Amino acid sequence: MPAIYHPPLRDMRFVMHELLDVTTALNEVPAYADIDADTIDQVLEEAGKFCAEVLLPLNLSGDQEGCHFDAATHVVTVPKGFKQAYQQYCDGGWPSLSADPDFGGQGLPHLIEIAFSEMKYATNQAWTMYPSLAHGAYTALLAHGTDEQKKVYLPKIVSGEWLGTMCLTESHCGTDLGMLRTKAEPVGDGTYRLTGNKIFISAGEHDMAANIVHLVLARLPDAPAGSKGISLFVVPKFMPIGTDANAAVGERNPIFCGAIEHKMGIHGNATCQLNLDGAIGTMVGAPNKGLAAMFVMMNGARLGVGVQGLGLTEIAYQNAAAYAKDRIQGRSLTGPKSPDQQADPIIVHPDVRKMLLTARAYAEGGRAFATWVALQSDLLNHPDEAVRKDADDMMALMTPVVKAFMTDNGFFAASGCLQVFGGHGYIAEWGVEQMVRDARINMIYEGTNTIQALDLLGRKILSDNGAKMKKFGKMVQDFVEAEGTNEAMAEFVNPLADLGDKTTKLTMELGMKAFQSPDEVGAAAVDYLRVVGHLIYAYFWARMAKIALEKESSGDPFYRAKLATARFYFAKLLPETASAIRSARAGSKVLMELEAELF
């Protein structure tokens, strides 16, 4: 039977309005002064309908059909229904949701976009990557584009008429962009001709939209070696005719798809090899400063990929929970629970419940975390400089955690939910095996999760002596002190405080080791990110538990379920930190002493 999906609107409302009170914070930002809870809720309700009714029915068929590549014409065709769904998406005004009104956007808060993205990724990750990459191109051009580039490209992207990509990777270099070889030769009229090859370009060629706006990293002829010699260029599939929002599609630019990758998952998204044969482009930002401009897009993409993990966690949980309540197998260890049937539903078994609650706890904890980070993004426009600085610091600190922790959890949860289905999960009929396959890429692209862990420990924490981490630690400490005498909260506050102390000590210890050998950072980083991720989730789960305790007497089963899930998280998932801390402290010697030739 096909997968089911119920937009988690009740939990989204809880997170936004009861946990974070986002409207109060947003109303302090002039651009969002008029936003209210009803508006947020209404937008998300309609967004949920689009995801459940339009995107979900195309997910399995799109996976099974995949994309089609015609080598003779370099044309890529998306699966049946994808193009029509995208037209509905554009007709509904969805591409413009959080975009700048100066370019045709609706100017709504980013946190609404993030919530919508969760539902889109849950119901059809492969389809959602097409408009999401375009949104990334929009953010990079908004931040670093010339006035002319903005006038031509941004209205087209905001309306959805044109889509976009980010072209970084080459066959010999992935994360190490300093090695890239694509060349950009100045023509003399302000344009450049780009020559080279890119691989693994998601949505690199397709028939979804009239044009594709490629953002391409390349080197100028006199560029210095390494990452300091990289420039960014906008290279459209078709050259625009005109210099404003009414620009039309002109002649074909020689940037062609040479092949599409045959992948483990996300089959409905065209992952392309792109060949640039003197393609015309214009520079974005300053010469040799392309990475700074591209990082606007990349950091946004990393947050988006984390939300991909969240969306797949949620839909995997929903389907596994429904199956577990319906599938009968064996009897409860404490005696029959459904004596009128041949067997009990498998939800009576403790380990089935553990797998379900793991997914639920990671979904609800991740939703709280992702929404809070999205709120920080919106607060970057706050009139108070101190608020902007704190929001910027939290965005910088949390981006690698969102990307890595949430996608790790998404894969673990999807795999556990497949296990709930047993053999039925391993076949395609139920759709859960696709969730596992799709979830696996999220741990790899936009910087592998190990790269995120190195970024967190090496660049975001040790490089500033833990200043950003101390800001978050102060939030944890303030909550612990406020609730320290509340006996009802002891089961949540005590382990939170304990983990906060242990994380501080571990950070200091690793900082000292890093002075002795940089390998110590590499050896500990992945474990360290797991510890920090759990500290963040424990903080939000403790705050959610406080609200659930206060409202449990209302009789609303939502709060009873929230409290039960919080208790599960602290009892069964948070203890992972003990082994992660021990592993982080084990050092690099056991990893580095074996000679390479003996592997």
CA dist 147 and 141 (Å) reads 10
CA dist 75 and 354 (Å) reads 47
The torsion defined by the Cα of 492, 16, 111 and 357, in degrees rounded to 10, comes to 50
Q: Which residue shows structure tokens 């391993």?
A: 426
CA dist 131 and 163 (Å) reads 7
327, 216, 346: which is closest to 276 by C-alpha?
216
23: its two tokens: 């409207």
Residues 6+ apart with CB under 8 A from 147: none
Ordered DSSP codes for 201-217: EET-S-SSSSEEEEEEE
Q: Residue 36: helix, strand or coil by DSSP?
A: coil
The amino acid that residue 429 corresponds to is: E
CA dist 131 and 150 (Å) reads 18
The DSSP letter of residue 146 is -
Ordered DSSP codes for 69-128: EETTTTEEEPPTTHHHHHHHHHHTTGGGTTS-GGGT-----HHHHHHHHHHHHHHHHHHH
Q: How far apart are the first and last CA of the chain?
A: 45
421, 422, 354, 416: which is closest to 565 by C-alpha?
354
With vertex at residue 237, the alpha carbon angle to CA 231 and CA 238, rounded to the nearest 5 degrees, is 120
CA dist 112 and 90 (Å) reads 17
The amino acid that residue 545 corresponds to is: A
Which residues are annotated as catalytic?
Answer: 446
SS (H, E, C) 345-357: EHHHCHHHHHHHH
> Does residue 368 contact residue 15 with C-beta atoms inside 8 Å?
yes
Residues 6+ apart with CB under 8 A from 191: 280, 281, 282
Within its chain, how far is the Cα of 393 from the centroid?
A: 19
The amino acid that residue 64 corresponds to is: Q
CA dist 348 and 449 (Å) reads 35
Q: Residue 552: helix, strand or coil by DSSP?
A: helix
Within its chain, how far is the Cα of 310 from the centroid?
A: 8
With vertex at residue 288, the alpha carbon angle to CA 286 and CA 290, rounded to the nearest 5 degrees, is 70
